Structure 1
Amino acid sequence: MKRRILVIGAGPGGIAAARRLRERIGDRLEIVLIEREGTAEFLPGTIATVLGEAPAAHWRTPLRLRGIEVQQGEVQRATGRGVVLTDGRTLEAEAVIAAPGLHLNLTAVPARPNVFAFWSPTTAEAAREAVARLQRGRLVVVISGLPYRCPPAPYSLAMQLAAFYRHHRRDVQLTLTTPEEAPLASLGHGIPEFLLRSCAEAGVEVQLGRRPDWSAGTDRELVFTDGSRLAFDLALVVPPHGRAPMLATLPDEGVLVSVDARLETAEPGLFVVGDATRTSLPRAAGVATAQGRTAADAVLDRLGLARFEGPHLPEPECYIGHGDGRYSRITIHFPEGLPPTGRPEVRLEGPAPELAAGFARVFEEWRTLRTENGR
């Protein structure tokens, strides 16, 4: 009988894990990929959705993966021996690889006029009309707390919004607030200074060390935990991120889950990859992809089906929109291995209009990996 492996989530980590299992020893495995609606969503399409450049549906695609069974359902609890779905079904397995990402706590942000909490194309739809309608005043991009997925994206959102309003000759001031003392400080290599300088050149004011107090404030004023206040006409909020409920029983404190070098948790047979893991690596698709492949190899080794020869080295790249069709790109390599023994090499390119093609290429590659059409 084939041995069943469950993979949860169709993000870069989950897809990489499922494909790696199939690539190495698929004929001896039953690989089941569980995704809530049987579709995948391209999260970098969030900003284009808010700007009205493409609807949320443009960034979704049905999952069709050769040799991999796709099950629709929402996982309530994951263990090393299987999962329990919210509809009461139980799926057993030899091992589970979970790539749930971080959970968006949208309810933590009060439902107020002119305040929109989102961080995906689907959740961004509600803010699109308000962004298009704003004629003058102050728009605030609010980062609620740490950690959150895709750390450069709020800065990209603010700069592209500033360019949008300049293009339409509207008197809208852009402010971004963040709890960070410096953006992407862990990357170093001049990236924090580059982001702050780019925002200033785009006309975006950045307020550092500002954590919103959602129990206070009004429809037109933000209140921060340090007592400072900021009036606004429209607020776009990156909501607090929490641990995926399916991982709630793991013993770790806080949002992130502890894993070993093979991505296995304290629960034997349960592997977690991507943004949900406690790691010094950046929260980027390239990291999740490498972790998915590593976890797949570790599962095969654990089951005695193939040897584990060490972690896959990530090669993340991140595109930052500056507005007016210009993008920057951050790429990271680990030629000496992963931290703490290896030091990353960070390269920064742009901003330049030529890099817009790279962003489009990433989307096409993302879609191709999820729609194999049985080939």
Structure 2
Amino acid sequence: MAKIGILGAGFGGLEAANILIKDLKLPHEIYLFDKRREFYMGLSKLWVLVGKKSKDEIVHDLSGLKKKGIFLVHEEIVKIDAQNKRVYTLNDEYVFDYLIIALGAALTPEQISGFNNGFNLYDLEQVIKLNERIENFEKGKIAVIICSMPFKCPPAPYEAAFMLDDFFRERAVRQNIKMAIFTAEPQPIPVAGKENGEIVKEMLAKKKIDYFPSYKVKEFKQGKVFFDNGQDILADIVIAVPPHRVPKVLVQSGLAQENSWVEVNSENLQTKFENVFAVGDCTTIKLANGMALPKAGIFAEAEAQIVAKNIIAKIKGGKTEIFKGEGACFVEVGDGKATQTDGKFFEKPNPVVNLTEANEENYEKKIDFERSRILRWF
């Protein structure tokens, strides 16, 4: 009998749990920890932003996983003894044969003074309020702010800007609204390469969305944003991506260093502790060019597949597999179209990333991406 603990019910945790429970029935035990009782995809928030979907349409109850035989623990994890594979919650203690850390990245808006004067793009409740704000917005300035790097789903703030542009064009008020992106990045999505960065900048320019790279936020005030370079701007609506940090419990447990991320073997995702693996946004994998693998659900999912299959191989016998650093995502640009980004991020000396032209087929693929995962996981 093997007992496997999965910490976090995001892309990585849900994928791992479903693969494991399919192949490892009782007496093997699969535990999935998450203090939340619901799951929603980050990409779905943007549909809520522009009124294409409601909260109820994108939020899914985790309790359904119990029917598959997965043990759910809805408690906060307060300590991890990785050496002995022990997990402590507020009320209990668990011991495992294998651990999969999939706790994601913690959002830390409190690091920026006055952050609550803007809307948090990565918080569903804030996005709902933002949707209410833009419904009757007909004139003024909107600023999309990327506070720091790294942040999960690198295309998301650009996608939000494109979708807002489309939203206001449909209402025939776009000509009265000025839009701009201010980012701590030196270019859009640096890991995708300079050429793709230029393509994104051209897309922004065509839609008359101003772009300001290397702008690091210092402070938010009501209707005003201050940057480290001494510049400041006025905006009627501020939409911000908050700073991201590794969850504190992973630092306290020795799995990560302060101001860093969990380091893993790039091929099998094992941490420095035997049979303790980490996947997704809480990890860091350095690429050949010195950059890091992007924090994105598609990679959390792919990493979880490798970890789960390899654990099954260890238990039942069989060949192990390696993570290849490949993935694709979709960026909605309005008019019912999306681009597709395909990347081979372990290539040397630089990742090979292709950005396709926007079309309706990619938009349908994006919709199917969400639908297929929800059907598979729940």
- Both proteins in one fold, TM over 0.5: yes
Unaligned stretches of 5+ residues in structure 1: none
Correspondence list, 1:296-311, <5 A = 296-299=308-311, 305-306=316-317, 309-311=320-322
Aligned to 1:67: 69
Residue 375 of structure 2 aligns to a residue whose secondary structure is: helix
In the aligned structure 1, how far is the partner of 2:55 from the partner of 2:302? 27
Residue 169 of structure 2 aligns to a residue whose secondary structure is: helix
Residue 53 of structure 1 aligns to a residue whose secondary structure is: coil
Residue 175 of structure 1 aligns to a residue whose secondary structure is: strand
Aligned to 2:289: none
Shift of 1:113: 7.5
Is the CA contact (8 Å cut-off) linking 1:300 and 1:308 kept in structure 2?
A: no
Is the CA contact (8 Å cut-off) linking 2:331 and 2:339 kept in structure 1?
A: yes
Aligned to 1:84: 88
In the aligned structure 2, how far is the partner of 1:166 from the partner of 1:286? 31
Aligned to 1:21: 20
Which amino acid counterpart does residue 307 of structure 2 have in structure 1?
A: A
Shift of 1:26: 3.9
Work out which of the residue numbers 181, 184, 195 in structure 2 matches 1:179: 184
Shift of 1:92: 1.9
1:254 aligns with 2:272: no
Shift of 1:108: 3.1
Aligned to 2:200: 195
Which amino acid counterpart does residue 144 of structure 1 have in structure 2?
A: C
Is the CA contact (8 Å cut-off) linking 1:109 and 1:117 kept in structure 2?
A: no
Deviations 1:285-318 (A, max 9, x none): 22112211222345456x6653562413354221
In the aligned structure 2, how far is the partner of 1:162 from the partner of 1:202? 7
Work out which of the residue numbers 343, 347, 352 in structure 1 matches 2:359: 352
Shift of 1:276: 1.3
Aligned to 1:209: 214
Which amino acid counterpart does residue 323 of structure 1 have in structure 2?
A: G
In the aligned structure 2, how far is the partner of 1:184 from the partner of 1:169? 30
In the aligned structure 2, how far is the partner of 1:306 from the partner of 1:252? 34
Deviations 1:320-369 (A, max 9, x none): 111222211112247xxx4558x754332221123221111011112112
In the aligned structure 2, how far is the partner of 1:243 from the partner of 1:201? 36
Is the CA contact (8 Å cut-off) linking 1:61 and 1:370 kept in structure 2?
A: no
Residue 218 of structure 2 aligns to a residue whose secondary structure is: coil
Which amino acid counterpart does residue 348 of structure 1 have in structure 2?
A: L
The farther-off stretch of 6-15 and 176-185 is: 6-15
1:142 aligns with 2:145: yes
Aligned to 2:135: 132
Residue 192 of structure 2 aligns to a residue whose secondary structure is: coil
1:41 aligns with 2:40: yes
Is the CA contact (8 Å cut-off) linking 1:96 and 1:270 kept in structure 2?
A: yes
Change (3 A) 1:212 1:23: same
Deviations 1:157-182 (A, max 9, x none): 11111221222222111111101111
Aligned to 1:321: 332
Shift of 1:127: 1.8
Work out which of the residue numbers 311, 325, 330 in structure 1 matches 2:341: 330
In the aligned structure 1, how far is the partner of 2:129 from the partner of 2:225? 20
Is the CA contact (8 Å cut-off) linking 2:106 and 2:245 kept in structure 1?
A: yes
Which amino acid counterpart does residue 332 of structure 2 have in structure 1?
A: G
In the aligned structure 1, how far is the partner of 2:100 from the partner of 2:281? 13
In the aligned structure 2, how far is the partner of 1:107 from the partner of 1:113? 9
TM-score relative to the length of structure 1: 0.88
Aligned to 2:224: 221
Unaligned stretches of 5+ residues in structure 2: 286-291
TM-score relative to the length of structure 2: 0.88
Residue 94 of structure 2 aligns to a residue whose secondary structure is: strand
Which amino acid counterpart does residue 322 of structure 2 have in structure 1?
A: P
Shift of 1:111: 5.0
What percentage of residue pairs aligned between the two structures are identical? Answer: 22
Residue 213 of structure 1 aligns to a residue whose secondary structure is: strand
Work out which of the residue numbers 366, 369, 376 in structure 2 matches 1:369: 376
Which amino acid counterpart does residue 70 of structure 1 have in structure 2?
A: L
Residue 167 of structure 2 aligns to a residue whose secondary structure is: helix
1:271 aligns with 2:277: yes
In the aligned structure 1, how far is the partner of 2:337 from the partner of 2:19? 35
Is the CA contact (8 Å cut-off) linking 1:45 and 1:120 kept in structure 2?
A: no
Residue 262 of structure 2 aligns to a residue whose secondary structure is: coil
What is the RMSD computed on CA atoms of the aligned residues? Answer: 2.4
Is the CA contact (8 Å cut-off) linking 2:191 and 2:351 kept in structure 1?
A: no
Is the CA contact (8 Å cut-off) linking 2:112 and 2:218 kept in structure 1?
A: no
Aligned to 1:156: 159
In the aligned structure 1, how far is the partner of 2:184 from the partner of 2:164? 21
Shift of 1:33: 1.2
1:287 aligns with 2:299: yes
In the aligned structure 1, how far is the partner of 2:306 from the partner of 2:88? 25
